[in-house]
Amino acid sequence: MRICVVGAGAIGGFLGATLVRGGQEVSLIARGAHLEAIRARGLTLVSGGRAETLSVAASSRPADFGVQDAVFITLKAYSISSVLPTHGPLVGPETAVIPAINGLPWWYFYREGGRFDGTLIHSLDPEGTMFACLDPARILGCVVHMAAEVTGPGEVTHTAGRHFILGEPDGTPSARLGRVADALAAAGLEVTRSAAIRQDIWMKLIGNLSYNPVAALTLAYMNEINANPGLIALLRVMMEEAMAVALAYGIRIPVTVDERIEIARKIGSSKISMHQDVEKGKPLEVDAVIGSVAELARRAGVATPMIDAVHALIAERARHVAAR
């Protein structure tokens, strides 16, 4: 397949390198020193203590690569709205666009099938401009369970996981879902084809909205958070509130809070994404990871006092990070 990865950071760099090793025709959209290093020396993937450098086409301009079979968007959620208007040259009538991003996606209610079908999430896409830039019929849902970090220009270090969950917004087992899933599996990734992608989104999200803000506020690694009883008590309340919000929208999380925490423990000593962003002085994914859940809670009349409190704290932290 011809596959373009828009955003060659931690997740995108890992995905791109893995697909190159799997024999796909891969191109990367990157920028700055990271792009220059990839062009000059290739993309280095460090995983399991082993470093491998791969040659891969990279540019800052989508127009350089033409129409693709699949386009993975692996940008931070807050960057997508500014990039979507430039993606047109990559997308043809048969192209699958796969936003592999943290938090609730802007397309969440597209073909949701219930009373909220087509509703906008205002904290993510207040004017509907993202829907206007990208035909949502092109979208294939994706949830990523892995951890990685950009450890230098042109270098990505993979620390945990390699699981990609793919699913159509309407739950159908489409041919394009099969093609993309097969390409990822052939590259050695763990792939699940989901008939209920929104449940998978919430399954990851209840961990993201709790662990990520706490990591950003405390600068603690995952194993340190999991070893702190006070923080675990806080996370437990946030997860319970998030499960109540999900249920208000017809999604029942298939695990208990304790089981979800045990899943998070498997990530080990990783420095998760919002922690990385604070240290690097980058914007934080506040709206996608926690603000959107607070918005849906208000819309459904679900009380989320702990989520609201942590949302206020992390939004203020994000303001100070941006002001540096």
Predicted confidence (pLDDT) per residue in 187-198, tens digit: 999 999 999 999
Higher pLDDT, 27 or 280: 27
- Point out the domain boundary residue: 177, 195, 213: 195
Host domain of residue 240:
198-322
Instruction: Give pLDDT tens digits for 212-263.
Output: 999 999 999 999 999 999 999 999 999 999 999 999 999 999 999 999 999 8
Q: Is the domain of 14 the same as that of 150?
A: yes
**The residue type at 285:** E
Please tell me which residue in 204, 266, 280, 282 is annotated as part of the active site: 204
Helix/strand/coil for 141: strand
Q: Is the domain of 211 the same as that of 131?
A: no
**CATH number of the domain enclosing 264:** 1.10.1040.10
pTM of the model as a whole: 0.93
Helix H or strand E encompassing 146? strand 141-152
Q: Is the domain of 222 the same as that of 248?
A: yes
Q: How far is CA 240 from the centre of its chain?
A: 22
Measured in residues, the chain has a length of 324
Q: Is the domain of 182 the same as that of 208?
A: no
- Point out the domain boundary residue: 195, 224, 246: 195
**CATH number of the domain enclosing 41:** 3.40.50.720
Helix/strand/coil for 178: helix
Cα–Cα distances (Å) from 126 to 111, 133, 228, 295, in that order, read 19, 14, 38, 12
**Catalytic residue at 271?**
no
Helix H or strand E encompassing 59? strand 57-59
